[in-house]
Structure formats: C-alpha cells, structure tokens
Amino acid sequence: MKKALLSGLFLFAALAGFAQTIENSSHSTTGYVKTDGTVENESHSTSGYIRSDGTIENSSHSTIGYIRSDGTIENSSHSAVGYVRTDGTVENSSHSTIGYIRADGTVENSSHSTIGYGGGVHKEWIAVVFFFFHFN
C-alpha cells in the first residue's frame, strides 16, 4: 500500500511539473510552457518551441529568434530585439526598460503594473512569450 501511494505521488509530481501555466493579470490561463520548451496556447495546441540551445521556433519549426547566454534576445537575422538582465529587468533593443520579471514569475510592464504570471518558467522564456515574440 505504501509503495503504491508513493508511486502515485511521484507520478502526480512528475505530471504537475510537465508544463507551467502562463496567465494574464486576471489569472486566466493564456498558455503553457513545457519543461522541454514547447510553447502551447490555452487549448494545448503547439504555438512554438524554445530549444535548449536558445533557438526560438514557430509551430512550423522555422527559426524566429534566439536567446543568448548573456540574456540578449535576437530575431532570426541575429539583430538584438531586447535584453533580459540578471535582476529580471527586460529592455528593448534601445536599452529602455519595457518590463520586469520578478523571482516568483510575476510579469510587470515598465510602470510596474502586473501583466501576467509565469512562475516556474525561465525568466528569458517568460520575456520571449510576454514581450518579444507572439507565437500565434
């Protein structure tokens, strides 16, 4: 009995961590980001991919951008479209602050108003979803 209960708890924990929910400021689900970088819309249809090497792809697997190890976000032509700083500040290509990603995954615009939530998701991935690329 104990073994079955532990197995069930392990399976539940594994499934719960399989995808993190992306929410708007009203806590309505707008999408999901799986641990493998698959980006899904609220209906679980694949919208795009964020690869482990930082490549950002649309649902057709066409490269639309890149995340660099220094937090630079680039378009498919390797031009910087923005930056994600280590403190969670998100800047556009002109280095103007366009938002913030808090440690708990709260996403704020430049005026510090909450625009969404992405707890458990890499801050660069959250920035890609909220500020730089629309996977629709």
| Average pLDDT of the segment spanning 94-113 | 97
pLDDT in tens, 107-119: 999 999 999 999 9
pLDDT value at position 118?
94
pLDDT-derived band of residue 67, with 50, 70 and 90 as boundaries? very high
- In this structure, of 12-26, 28-42, 75-89, 101-115, the range with the lowest mean pLDDT score is 12-26
- Tell me what the pLDDT averaged over the chain comes to: 88
Q: Give the confidence band of 18 by pLDDT, cuts at 50, 70, 90.
A: low
Task: Give the pLDDT confidence score for residue 25 in this predicted structure.
Answer: 95
The phi, psi pair for 43, rounded to 5°, reads -95, 10
Tell me: pLDDT of 17 over 50: no
pTM, two decimal places: 0.83
Looking up tokens 């698959």 gives 38
| Residue-wise DSSP of 2-14 | HHHHHHHHHHHHH
DSSP class per residue in 21-75 = EEEETT--EEEEEETTSEEEETTS-EEEEE-TTSEEEETT--EEEEE-TTSEEEE
Report how far residue 73's alpha carbon sits from residue 85's, in angstroms, rounded to the nearest whole number.
11
Measure the CA–CA gap between 45 and 93, rounded to whole angstroms: 30
What's the pLDDT score for residue 5? Answer: 37
pLDDT tens for 21-49 read: 999 999 999 999 999 999 999 999 999 99
Residue ranges covered by each domain of the chain: 19-132
